[in-house]
Structures are given as structure tokens and as C-alpha cells.
Amino acid sequence: MKNICIIQARLGSDRLPGKVMQPIGDGKSIVEMAYARLCAARYIDKVVVAIPEGEKDDELAAFLDSKNIPYLRGSEDDVLGRFCTALGDEEWDNVIRATSDNPFVSTYIADAMVLSHVLSGSDYTSAGDAIIGTSVEVAKVDKLRELNKRTDLQGYHREHVTFYFREHPETYHLNTMPVATCKGLKGKIRLTVDTVQDYEVACAVYAAIGRPDLDIPDVLALYAERPDIFLGNKDVVQKVR
């Protein structure tokens, strides 16, 4: 069983341009933290960043080169196509979709999701109850490649990669993995970085815990002791991914 993780990244952002290169803790950028955490997952064999072609993201390409982070380039708007370009010709069983604005993506959750996906024989797996910014998505590579060949997809299907799976449960075997430790906290803790408020909270969380390998248990312990740290972005509305 071979599993590849693809982290989608770009410099353009409506609410916080260039966010993926911003430092969070110990000088590490958001995209570096996401990459390192997913590389640490036991059931992920390879991690690569997928970025758009074009001058707008040349700075990001140079940054990734300087950090020895592997990346591939593809269409800016057709993110589904960019994913399939990143898959290349190599044979993979499953693809883990991650985004570069999640510096605290959970290694534990990623591994658990891959296991749940494989054991359930699903085409697509998402996480229920996970804190925003800590989970990934898992899909069978053959299903993703088939999806990319469809000629009836809308623009948003190509932009958001996995929407078509979720819209067609009659066609695909969908799996939602519960994250029991996070139940009830999805609307109270937000760990993705999409706005200035998100960035400030992320920096505060890292400063309070102080370890690059922090994960869900550390976040929950901090929330129990210092819930005020998480209030700064409580009113930020989550954009569709």
C-alpha cells in the first residue's frame, strides 16, 4: 500500500497574501511546519507540495527550493489537475490531500485517517468533529484520476478537488472518521491560518506550547488551561476548501 500526501499551496490569498511563508515558531514558516508534520506520519510514504505555475508563485518555488522541500507546479485554478500532475506516472494507492495553511495539521489524525480509509475500503475519507486546521482528506488515487478525466465537472469541482466525491454519495463509498477527542470543539478552536487573527492565534498557541511536534493532546491541554488564547479568531468565518 503506497500513500502520497500532496500539500496544495500558493502565495495568492484574498485575506492574507503570502501567508504560507510567514513564520510561526522557531523561524519555521507555515508551509514548513505542515510539511514536517506530514512527513512524520507513519502511513505516508511521500510528501510533495503542489504549487501553481506562473510568475506569481516563483517566489514560493524559490523558497521551497531553499528549504529542500519537493514541489511540482501545475494549473493555478484547476487544482484537481494540479494534484494529478503531482501524482505523476508513479503507482500510488491513496492520496492524502492537505493544505499549506495548516501549521498544526495532526500527525495522529492523518495516520488514523489513512488506516480508517484503507480498512473501510472507502473511495474518500474525511474527518468528523476535527478541529479546523488539524485534519486531512484521503482518496483512492484511481478515483481521483478518473475524476480528473470527467468532462462534466464545474469550475468549483476543479478548484476544490474533492467536492464531487462529497456531492455524489450514490457513486462513491464515502467514509467519515470520527475524532472523539475533539468532539464539541470544532467551533471553539480554529487552527488554520487564513486571516491576521488566525495568524496571531497560531503564533500564540505555538509560543504557549513551545514544541514543534505539538499535537492534539497538547492543544486540548492548553485549551483547558488557557481558553482565552483561542478567542482571537472565534468570529472568523471558514471558507469552503
Angle at 126 between CA 222 and CA 77, to 5 degrees: 105
What confidence tens digit (pLDDT) does each residue in 80-108 have?
Answer: 999 999 999 899 999 999 999 999 999 99
What number of H helices and E strands is found in the chain? 9, 9
What confidence tens digit (pLDDT) does each residue in 70-84 have?
Answer: 999 999 999 999 999
Domains of the chain: 3-233 (3.90.550.10)
For the chain, give the mean pLDDT.
Answer: 94
What confidence tens digit (pLDDT) does each residue in 149-195 have?
Answer: 999 999 999 999 999 999 999 999 999 999 988 888 877 999 999 99
Residues 6+ apart with CB under 8 A from 69: 31, 32, 35, 49
